[in-house]
Amino acid sequence: MRRAGAAGEPVPAEVAAAWAKVFMEQLYGMQKPVRYECRRRGSNDPWEEAEPGDVTHPRRRGLVIRALYLHPPVAKQQHRWPPGSNGQGHCLDCDEAQWLAAPECRPHAPIRDHRSAMPFRITWVIEPLEKLHYLAKHLNPFDRDKWRKEATYLIDRIRDHEKGSQP
């Protein structure tokens, strides 16, 4: 490549394509891009994450697409397709579309329930809310109704929240 470029000789397109293919295979292997980014053609706007339609039809939408990779490639895992998908299904592990999937499967990390990471138990707030409910009897009728409704609502939401975060 250097000799052809230094000599100023024209290089046929198929030779340049073969060089690019070898270069990409040597650099990245058979790994799938981590994500695609796009921006308007001729624009200096920041890169945004591309939608699947942006990746499949960039010229029609006037976009420039770039693929971001990780290197070195990780160990390969095979995709598991639903029976009878005929090229139209999604992987059961990584949810990748069959027509767009890379040779190896990369399942997503399990989603962590952040409610369990609170520095205190939310149920500790129930007792003060019940006291507020009780002490509202010393307020005027309008405020009493307002504070009792709000305290009851919060107590119910906290109990629902605790039910949802139980394993």
Going residue by residue through the chain, which has 167 residues, state the pLDDT in tens, using 9 for 90 and above.
666 666 777 888 888 888 888 887 777 666 777 889 999 998 888 899 998 888 888 999 999 998 887 765 555 678 888 887 776 788 888 888 888 877 778 787 777 766 666 677 788 889 999 998 889 888 999 999 999 999 999 999 988 888 876 65
Supply the pLDDT for residue 75: 58
Query: What's the residue count for the chain?
Result: 167
Supply the pLDDT for residue 115: 63
Supply the pLDDT for residue 4: 67
Closest CA to 38 of 52, 53, 56, 54: 54
State the Cα–Cα distance between residues 65 and 67, nearest whole angstrom. Answer: 7
3-class DSSP state for residue 93?
Answer: coil
